[in-house]
Amino acid sequence: EVQLLESGGGLVQPGGSLRLSCAASGFAFTSYAMAWVRQAPGKGLEWVSVIRGSGDSTFYADSVKGRFTISRDHSKNTLHLQMNSLRAEDTAVYYCVREQQLAQFYFDCWGQGTLVTVSS
Amino acid sequence: DVQMTQSPSSLSASVGDRVTITCRASQRISNYVNWYQQKPGKAPQLLIYAASNLHSGVPSRFSGSGSGTDFTLTISSLQPEDFATYYCQQTYSSRTFGQGTKVEI
């Protein structure tokens, strides 16, 4: 069974940093692109970042470019999101997702999410 | 950037109704559209990929169509468990979600 388990969320002050992790199991981790999607309270979904299965390519939404860094650890089947210079508007539930990249791209598996709150 | 405009933002329907949700892209994006369902307090789930392909395990009352700029998600006969929020997503250029459609009783 495919499982994605996020951790690392919490309360952080504006300007602070936080590192999210996602433990993946039940599939060949290195064969899949992985991504982060966030959802502010009461709002819609926003794609944040994606990293290819090999880890050699990363892409970011303009709203987080230069502040967030996505990475993956193949020895631990773990995805990370390093978030720096956090702002109030980064407050959201952050979902770890698996992305299929065959003929089309789509998010076929989602974690349960971890809440990040940026507030003083 | 490709923008995705969903309509309506919300709708009221009854069990057994046929429901259609539309998504319009700001430019032609072939069939690079996916649809997701999200229930309150839960993570989204994939329903349809590549505009018209039903994801494994999704009931056949869900269907998708469209190409170019206009896409639709149809629920042929609404069931109690279908009351949720639905999102379209484009993956033609980066990845963008529509603003969501809440289906209420």
* Residues 49-68 (B) with a CB less than 8 A from some CB of A: 49-50, 55
The Cα A19–Cα A69 span in angstroms is: 9
- Do A104 and B50 lie within an 8 Å CB cutoff? yes
Confidence of residue A102 (pLDDT cuts 50, 70, 90): confident
Nearest to A45 among B44, B46, B94 (CB): B44
Within 8 A by CB and 6+ apart from A94, the residues are A6, A9, A20, A36, A37, A38, A48, A81, A113, A114, A115, A116
Note down pLDDT in tens along chain B; length 105 residues: 899 999 999 999 999 999 999 999 999 999 999 999 999 999 999 999 999 999 999 999 999 999 999 999 999 999 999 999 999 999 999 999 999 999 998
Contacts of B38 in chain A (CB under 8 A): 45
Confidence of residue A103 (pLDDT cuts 50, 70, 90): confident
The residue that leads in pLDDT, B11 or A103, is B11
Q: Are A6 and A113 in contact (CB under 8 A)?
A: yes
Q: What are the Cα distances from residue B23, in Å, to B33, B54, B71?
A: 9, 17, 5
- For residue A68, give how far its alpha carbon lies from the nearest alpha carbon of chain B (Å): 17
Which helix (H) or strand (E) element contains residue B7? strand B4-7
Nearest to B46 among A37, A108, A112 (CB): A108
B15 touches chain A (CB under 8 A): no
